[in-house]
Chains A and B, each alone.
With several copies, the nearest count.
Chain A
Amino acid sequence: MPQYSEKVMEHFRNPHNVGEIENPDGVGHVGNPVCGDIMEMYIKVKDNVIVDAKFKTFGCGAAIATSSMMTDLVKGKTIEEALQISNRAVVEALDGLPAIKLHCSVLAEDALKGAINDYLKKTTGKGLPNWKPHED
């Protein structure tokens, strides 16, 4: 049972970038109801830069906060920069997560990679090399 940081609660209370993007350039969809967390991430890309990102999440406080933080972090980043954002970066930006909630940050990383994969497939015909979501 988690003790969340103030930062996590802030993002949970007022999550940034909630919603869908119409005609997105990439969509990532990860998780399933069995594990209790589902994330959808939408990105809009212009000149190789992520100009907008939004999410929809079914999940716990940590799932919502990591989604919110991840969308914050990627905005304005190039695709290459965005791919460097690890789940650990999200956790740090949130001032930490309880151990049993770390998997939520992995999910957020997966959702982003999924969206980028989708974007690359659409634009280059090839997705991220060897990419598939983590097993839960």
Chain B
Amino acid sequence: MEKAYFDYAATTPTHPEVVTAMLPYFEEKFGNPSSIHGFGRETKAAIQDARLKVADLLGADQAEIVFTGSGTESDNFALEGVAFSREKEGRHIISTPIEHHAILETLKFLEKRGFKVTYLPVDQYGMVNPEDIKKYVNDETILVSVMHANNEIGTIEPLAEISKVIRELNINRENRIYLHTDAVQTVGQIPVNVNELGVDLLSLSAHKFYGPKGVGALYIRKGTKLVSFMHGGEQERGRRASTENVPGIVGLGKACEIAKKELPVWTTELTRLRDKLKNGLFAKISDIELNGHPTLRLPKNLDVSIQYVEGESMLLSLDMEGIAVSTGSACSSGSLEPSHVMLAIGKTHEQAHGSIRFSLGRLTTEKEIDYVLEVFPPIVERLRKMSPLYKGVK
């Protein structure tokens, strides 16, 4: 069976050069970086080298990079770290309804512990209006967290404008508002520069851009107050305890180095392939619509809603043909609610249930696009024939 992976937004295959870079750190160079002896000094140096590479990709200083265990940990760390260190200055946080669960669930946890959260409105593309922040901010506001790009619909948020608004607000405030962004879907995929974005905190995860699973980082701008999330030893200058995941960190460093070099090529190539896929699907399938912003979106992302058919049944049918995609339908989430993102941008339950996300990556080929264009329209046709909703349409 042919295989075509269109779920790069869920995770990516580790780059072969990343694996090669990691390998020596399992059996050979295995020392604990906290150890003073040679075995430890060797891995400490490796971590430092990786830190420079991450900092380089983000335009940050190496001392501003803290390694974590994942994107989720970086998100938890950023939000709880700011909340618990600044609760005396205020207990109000502003975010959006389309954040990843790693943000939303952490905010819920903080709400239970006495914090107030305001969710900014988003338009039909999931776009935040930076000016809205002025409306929702209050004396208690200590943090704004807005994702850089949405994992589901691909919309890229106006972070630079948001940070401009916050900088202006901060001029007249004693308790500075911090800006955090969940950049898990953008780092290593589109250019991300912490100074251009003007953020104080930024989360990233290696496995979304050809690094290994189980390692991430948090960018923490110098001077940002933040309590630790993981308490224990003095690793990461006391900011993140636990024996460092040396192979993982080395892998993340390598992934950043590769991304820095390849990014321009990936971006153009993915945009081209994605648009071909989009045009092909829109030509061959009726009653299909794009989710997310038409132009300000991730090059890799194509999210569509297909009327009269449910997402999981499309996903499974594609899977039977070796094609891997994702859906915002309830049926795939483990809960009975469809994607909170789709509902937040004003889609109907039906549209949410009928959503399918194709996400492309560096190994995506023209042939795979052609294969989807050949296989997917008949699947939709077959499922529509089975659908009671399609009757009136025929």
Give 1 or 0 for each of B310-341: 1 = CB within 8 Å of chain A CB.
11110010001000000001111111101000
Residues of A within 8 A of B257 (CB): none
CA distance A34 to B349 in the complex (A): 5
Give 1 or 0 for each of A60-74: 1 = CB within 8 Å of chain B CB.
111110000000000
In the complex, are the beta carbons of B388 and A36 less than 8 A apart?
A: no
In the complex, are the beta carbons of B389 and A1 less than 8 A apart?
A: no
CA distance A9 to B41 in the complex (A): 14
In the complex, are the beta carbons of A59 and B389 less than 8 A apart?
A: no
Residues of A within 8 A of B388 (CB): 29, 38-40, 56-58
In the complex, are the beta carbons of B348 and A36 less than 8 A apart?
A: no
Residue A129, interface by CB 8 Å: no
CA distance A130 to B154 in the complex (A): 48
With A1-B333, A37-B310, A60-B329 already in contact, the answer to whether A12 and B349 are too (CB < 8 A) is no
Closest to A38 in B: B388
Chain B contact residue count (CB 8 A cutoff): 33
With A1-B334, A59-B313 already in contact, the answer to whether A33 and B349 are too (CB < 8 A) is yes
Residue A24, interface by CB 8 Å: no
Residue A46, interface by CB 8 Å: no
Closest to A61 in B: B316
Give the interface size bracket for A toward B.
20 to 34
Residue A120, interface by CB 8 Å: no
Give 1 or 0 for each of A6-39: 1 = CB within 8 Å of chain B CB.
0001001101001000000000010001111111
Report the minimum CB–CB distance from A16 to chain B (whole Å).
12
Report the minimum CB–CB distance from A43 to chain B (whole Å).
15
Closest to A8 in B: B316
Residue B385, interface by CB 8 Å: yes
Contact of B330 among A9, A36, A57, A64 (CB under 8 A): A36
Closest to A101 in B: B331
Closest to B312 in A: A60
With A33-B348, A58-B310 already in contact, the answer to whether A1 and B387 are too (CB < 8 A) is no
Report the minimum CB–CB distance from B393 to chain A (whole Å).
12
In the complex, are the beta carbons of A57 and B387 less than 8 A apart?
A: yes
In the complex, are the beta carbons of B312 and A56 less than 8 A apart?
A: no
Residue B36, interface by CB 8 Å: yes
Residue A2, interface by CB 8 Å: yes
CA distance A34 to B329 in the complex (A): 11
CA distance A38 to B310 in the complex (A): 10
In the complex, are the beta carbons of A59 and B310 less than 8 A apart?
A: yes
Q: Select the residue from B330, B331, B385 with max chain A CB neighbours within 10 A.
A: B331
In the complex, are the beta carbons of A33 and B313 less than 8 A apart?
A: no
Residues of B within 8 A of A33 (CB): 348-350, 353, 389
Residues of B within 8 A of A13 (CB): 320
Residue A3, interface by CB 8 Å: yes
Residues of B within 8 A of A37 (CB): 310, 331
Report the minimum CB–CB distance from B39 to chain A (whole Å).
13
Contact of B36 among A2, A29, A57, A63 (CB under 8 A): A2
CA distance A71 to B35 in the complex (A): 30
Contact of B349 among A3, A36, A100 (CB under 8 A): A36
Contact of B331 among A40, A56, A57, A60 (CB under 8 A): A60
Closest to B348 in A: A33
In the complex, are the beta carbons of B386 and A56 less than 8 A apart?
A: yes
- A-B pairs with beta carbons under 8 Å apart, 18 shown: A1-B40, A2-B36, A29-B388, A35-B349, A36-B310, A36-B329, A36-B336, A36-B353, A38-B387, A38-B389, A39-B388, A59-B331, A60-B329, A60-B332, A61-B316, A63-B313, A63-B331, A64-B313
The 3 closest A-B pairs by CB, nearest first: A60-B331, A60-B312, A33-B350
List A residues at the B interface (Cβ < 8 Å): 1-3, 9, 12-13, 15, 18, 29, 33-40, 56-64, 100-101, 103
